[in-house]
Structure 1
Amino acid sequence: MKRLSLIVLGCVLLSGCIFDPVFDTSNWDAYQRSSAAIKAKLNNDDLRRLEIALRYLLLEGTPNIAADEQLYNNLTATNPYFIVARLGPKIDGRSAAAVIKNLTIKLDSEISATEARLQNLRDVLGSVEVSSPRYYWKQSGYLAQPVVEFAVRNDGRSPISRIYFRSVLTTPNRSIPWARQEFVQTFKGGLEPHEKQQLTLQPRGQWSDPQLKDLYNAELKVTVTNFEDANGAKVIAVDSDQLDLERKVRAALQ
């Protein structure tokens, strides 16, 4: 019996030796030590995936997370206590593999839920019709300026106060657009059901490139990405930038 107990104990000890190290976020020093131990056992690919996961988890929930390079650098350089408090509930007691796996599952769930909501709302966006989009240059005094023009009609049952558009200028057999822009149009007095208005806009930036003036076969595509009702509530309350970021992070964790 004693010999059997020793064998069992030896197996337990041996099995404990092959366990992956886990994060300890009880304090900053413990976090640094555990993090170093974890990273020392990872290959380059797993280390890259862990860094991506930790970065996302640290900045998760902050506004404009995709563009917060400076915020990330500031936090990691000057605020260790914030890092421990922020990451602790998400990684404490977990190995690198578990952190990556948990975040992957979380992102899968959030992406699926958002995409399902978007799919259900695409028909709603179809109630705003865009027709006859045109891109041309108009002489104004001594200057020629680009013009984007199209008609928009409210085929829904409720008034619309504001519409969000995405415009893309292409030519046949060219995969990269010449210009693209997102813009918002506010309708004074609203756009009532079955009402149609002609919109004429003067785009800037890429659209003002003089070489575009000679595009005889230019094709302008204008799509509706969202709109607001009479109370100013968006029909699709989805952060498209956040969804794009989640997709990119999920792909990088694979």
Structure 2
Amino acid sequence: MLRSRFYMDEREFMGKRPIIELSVKNGTSSPVSRAYFEGTIASPDRSVPWHQDTFNYSIPVGLEPGEDATLNLAPNMFSDWGKVNAPADAIFTVTVEKLDGPDGETLYSVHDFGEREIGRLAELKSQYGVE
């Protein structure tokens, strides 16, 4: 994730619509066809965010390793994104939760703890003397 921005776009006769603008770069060694994110709109002086939700985006032509792109998403104006009423100084942070490869299969996920991760954990526990 290079940059994230959330704003309400004022459209004549249609009212405001939420816009999520993301500048991303594929730092993996595989092409990416879909990315899953968690976005949070918060203010530093507040313990509860103004809004927090997950969303995903299918990248029409994919994103090859090393490529970057700007994604403009327009969530439904009647969704919770359309109800956000955060102050102008609120900060929008986005984390990548999961990436799919060109075949639609999961490449990476923060929620998966597979054989590779189990092996790495065992290796680290052994290295640091943790049982």
- Shorter-chain TM-score range: 0.7 to 0.9
Q: Which has the higher contact order (CA 8 A, sep 6+)?
A: 2
Q: Which residue of 2 aligns with 1:232?
A: 104
Q: Is residue 139 of structure 1 aligned with residue 5 of structure 2?
A: no
Shift of 1:203: 2.9
Deviation sequence 1:2-46 (CA, Å, 0-9, x none):
xxxxxxxxxxxxxxxxxxxxxxxxxxxxxxxxxxxxxxxxxxxxx
Q: Which residue of 1 aligns with 2:72?
A: 200
TM-score by length of 2: 0.73
Deviation sequence 1:76-117 (CA, Å, 0-9, x none):
xxxxxxxxxxxxxxxxxxxxxxxxxxxxxxxxxxxxxxxxxx
Aligned length: 109
- Larger Cα Rg: Structure 1 or Structure 2? 1
Where in structure 1 are there 5+ consecutive unaligned residues? 1-129, 241-254
Per the alignment, do residues 153 and 147 of structure 1 end up closer, same or farther by CA in structure 2, a change over 3 Å counting?
same
Instruction: Answer whether contact 1:166 1:225 (CA < 8 A) is retained.
Output: yes
Three-state SS of the structure 1 residue aligned to 2:107 is: coil
Q: Superposed, which structure 2 residues align to 1:53-72 within 5 Å?
A: none
CA distance in 1: counterparts of 2:4 and 2:26, whole angstroms: 16
Shift of 1:239: 5.5
Counterpart selection for 1:182 from 38, 54, 59: 54
Per the alignment, do residues 216 and 238 of structure 1 end up closer, same or farther by CA in structure 2, a change over 3 Å counting?
closer
Per the alignment, do residues 234 and 202 of structure 1 end up closer, same or farther by CA in structure 2, a change over 3 Å counting?
same
Q: Which residue of 1 aligns with 2:94?
A: 222
Per the alignment, do residues 160 and 140 of structure 1 end up closer, same or farther by CA in structure 2, a change over 3 Å counting?
same
Shift of 1:207: 2.4
Q: Superposed, which structure 2 residues align to 1:35-114 within 5 Å?
A: none
Shift of 1:238: 7.3
Per the alignment, do residues 224 and 238 of structure 1 end up closer, same or farther by CA in structure 2, a change over 3 Å counting?
closer
Three-state SS of the structure 1 residue aligned to 2:99 is: strand
Shift of 1:154: 0.5
Q: Is residue 166 of structure 1 aligned with residue 46 of structure 2?
A: no
Instruction: Answer whether contact 1:178 1:206 (CA < 8 A) is retained.
Output: no
Shift of 1:193: 1.1
Instruction: Answer whether contact 1:134 1:220 (CA < 8 A) is retained.
Output: yes
Q: Is residue 209 of structure 1 aligned with residue 83 of structure 2?
A: yes
Shift of 1:228: 1.0
Instruction: Answer whether contact 2:21 2:72 (CA < 8 A) is retained.
Output: yes
Where in structure 2 are there 5+ consecutive unaligned residues? 113-131
CA distance in 1: counterparts of 2:36 and 2:104, whole angstroms: 12
Report sequence identity in percent. 30
Q: Which residue of 2 aligns with 1:79?
A: none
> Which moved further from structure 2: 228-237 or 172-181?
228-237
Shift of 1:224: 0.4
